[in-house]
Amino acid sequence: MLGRSMTYNILFPSSYSVEVSKLRQQLEEAHLAWSKDWKERQADFKIENIRFVHDPHWNKRFFSLQAAHDGKIWFWQATHVAVLFGVSSI
């Protein structure tokens, strides 16, 4: 038990942990200063409220993913059958 703690103290002396914490603090201070400067240099912008016309038949369109999932269009019904047949033949 004593040998393990001595090896640990030899590999990682306590002075290193103090140095690391000082370096970490300096790094965080530098990053904070950089981020404040970067935010000040950014141009102001507004997010516009973009509105799209609602399509009431969006899920019945031929290439709609929802239509492919639901399988209510003849093409997607045939595709589902072909895929199920292919999977069952594996």
DSSP 28: H
Residue 13 lies in a domain: yes
pLDDT tens-digit series, residues 38-88: 888 887 766 677 777 777 777 777 777 777 777 778 888 888 889 888 888
Residue 54 lies in a domain: no
Residue 47 lies in a domain: no
Residue 33 lies in a domain: yes
Residue 35 lies in a domain: yes
Residue 69 lies in a domain: yes
- Which structural domain, as residue segments, surrounds residue 81? 61-88
DSSP 62: T
pTM of the complete model: 0.33
Residue 53 lies in a domain: no
**What average pLDDT score do residues 23-36 get?**
92
Question: Using alpha carbons only, what angle is made at residue 16 by residues 10 and 18, rounded to the nearest 5 degrees?
Answer: 140
What 66-72 contacts at long range (C-beta under 8 Å, 24+ apart), as own/partner pairs, is none
CB 9 within 8 A of CB 16: no
Domain count, the chain: 2
User: Structure tokens of 54?
Assistant: 């609602």
